Amino acid sequence: MKVIDHIRQAKNTLVSFEILPPLKGKTINSIYDHLDPMMAFNPSFINVTYHRSETMFKKKTDGTFEKVEVRKRPGTVGICAAIMNHYKVDAVPHLICGGFGRRETEDALIDLHFLGVDNVLVLRGDAAKNEASFEPEPDGNQYALDLLKQVVNLNAGMYLEEDIKNGGKTNFCIGVAGYPEKHFEAPNLDTDLMYLKAKVDAGAEYVTTQMFFDNQKYFDFVKACRAHGIDVPVIPGLKPITSRKQLSMLPKVFHVDLPMELSKEIMKCKNDEEVERVGTSWLIQQSKELKKSGVPVLHYYTLGKPKVICDVVREIV
Ligand code: FAD
């Protein structure tokens, strides 16, 4: 079932989770071990992130180095199929522009369609580690908007091979990313929202936000979306803080602020167990307030922390 239909049919705020594919070498059981405890909360859908390959230099026996492309977290498409098969819950694969040509993207979409996956979250992806700024593949998509248009075309039966006439239509519900604190490359929030509106006008049916730790940022963002004519559901993305190093890592990597009150509480902690307790209680308060305000879904970034997520969701369902 499509994410947008889950939202339309819901009588109450829904819960959903995002997971990462395991590092190469682990089995699908690591995904089940991660998800099993969270399934008690009946998530409406589970997102699975996509990760581009990284350029690495491997030492050869003669002492010279060989450049290799390594994908550390493969398996998004397979994990989505496994989740749908094992738990009978809808999976939402993330699709990115970075590292992918349009033909590879088309093939991935065909695989997903054949597997019965009818949701995708389309994203640009970040710059590769060895690039100063995002560079698409020579035949790849530059922006999430371009990737979105490719999915919309496939939903209309239009394939990259122009000689395919009356091509089978896919049926993807398309979500996109939004940034309550603005995407870090955008010159200002209005410009960012102009591009977000372009994604919605082109066919995005909902927005999932970057994490935020101050609900007022989300409320202001939704208001700004509405003022820009973005009328689709805006799903808040939520992450628990579980370690002291996240105080500097989260702003650096995700370009988000941590409220002073939360930062002060974390700085008082003697170890990461205490930080986890502070982070859990902060996320419970955030979730309760968001639910009270009538958000469509509480979407949790669960990375390696199923217990914390269970402790939070138990308090709000
Ligand atoms: P875009 O919408 O393409 O926007 C990128 C920048 O370009 C913005 O500054 C925007 O204002 C600007 N822009 C947009 N369109 C245009 C245009 N037509 N002309 C000029 N400027 C334009 N990354 C991953 O690699 N894998 C994942 O699985 C993943 N999942 C994510 C899930 C969520 C909910 C979020 C919020 C982010 C996720 N990301 C993921 C990170 C994301 O890929 C990065 O934040 C990336 O830098 C931007 O992606 P986007 O889809 O928002 O890009």
Rounded to the nearest angstrom, the distance between the alpha carbon of 265 and the centre of ligand 1 is 31
Q: Given the structure tokens 């398996």, which residue do they identify?
A: 75
User: Which of 145, 139, 106 is closest to 122 using CA atoms?
Assistant: 145
**pLDDT per position in the chain (317 positions), as tens?**
999 999 999 999 999 999 999 999 999 999 999 999 999 999 999 999 999 988 888 899 999 999 888 889 999 999 999 999 999 999 999 999 999 999 999 999 999 999 999 999 999 999 998 899 999 999 999 999 999 999 999 999 999 998 999 999 999 999 999 999 999 999 999 999 999 999 999 999 999 999 999 999 999 999 999 999 999 999 999 999 999 999 999 999 999 999 999 999 999 999 999 999 999 999 999 999 999 999 999 999 998 889 999 999 999 98
Ligand 1 pocket test: pick from 46, 148, 183, 197 the residue with the most ligand atoms within 8 Å of its Cβ: 183
CB 206 within 8 A of CB 119: no
For 220, the domain range is 3-316
d(CA 79, CA 115): 11
Tokens of 255: 């370009």
Q: Which atom of ligand 1 is nearest to the CA of 196?
A: 2
pTM value is 0.97
**Residue 234, burial from CB neighbour count under 10 angstroms (0-12, 13-18, 19+):** buried
Domain harbouring 46, CATH code: 3.20.20.220
**In the structure, which protein residues have their CB atom closer than 6 angstroms to any atom of ligand 1?**
49-50, 94, 96, 123-126, 143-145, 177, 183, 185-186, 191-192, 195, 208, 210, 237
Rounded to the nearest angstrom, the distance between the alpha carbon of 295 and the centre of ligand 1 is 22
Strand ranges (DSSP E) for 2-134?
14-19, 45-48, 54-59, 65-70, 90-96, 119-123
Three-state secondary structure of 253-289: HHCCCCCHHHHHHHHHCCCHHHHHHHHHHHHHHHHHH
Count: domains in the chain: 1
